[in-house]
Amino acid sequence: MSFELWLAFVAATTALLLIPGPTVLLVLSYALSKGRSVAVASAAVTALNPKSIAFFIAFVPQFIRADAPLMPQFSILIATFVTLAAVNALAYALLADRLRRVIARPSVLTWITRGGGLALITMGVLTATLKRTAP
């Protein structure tokens, strides 16, 4: 596998991992509710989430050279992906842990609660006043 091909894989993987999915939401919820230690532990087993499997099925064949041995290529791509996924989940966990400290302040929590309530009321009013278009 050429270095340029590996860099293209790193770029594609990074772009995919930056899009939050179920794993990121899990890590964020653990970090916000349980704290850093639980979030970091959950950020470790992210290699087998559904997005990872879909990524490998859809993208890996584009980065495999048919004229080269497959096992070394798969090993490099899997190790790269797992490492980048772990770093990504860890970054989200640490960021959410910092956010947890800010959210825990009563004044911030009050404004978040009010903002959420206002959003729900606004959506309810918009739904109630929505007119159905004729087919």
The pLDDT tens digits along the chain (135 residues) read 899 999 999 999 898 888 877 777 777 777 777 777 777 777 666 656 676 777 777 888 889 999 999 999 999 998 998 889 888 888 888 888 888 878 778 887 788 788 888 989 999 999 888 877 766
- For the chain, how many residues are written? 135
The answer to whether residue 10 sits within a structural domain is yes
Q: Does 42 reside within a domain?
A: yes
**Total domain count, the chain:** 1
Range of the domain at 84: 3-104
Q: Establish if 110 belongs to a structural domain.
A: no
Is 50 part of a structural domain of the chain? yes
Taking CB atoms within 8 Å and a gap of at least 24, the contacts of 15-21 are 16/51, 16/55, 16/59, 17/84, 17/85, 17/88, 18/88, 20/92, 21/49, 21/50, 21/51
Q: Would you say residue 115 lies in a domain? A: no
Residue 109 included in any domain: no
Q: Is residue 122 part of a domain?
A: no
The residue whose two tokens read 């009013």 is 125
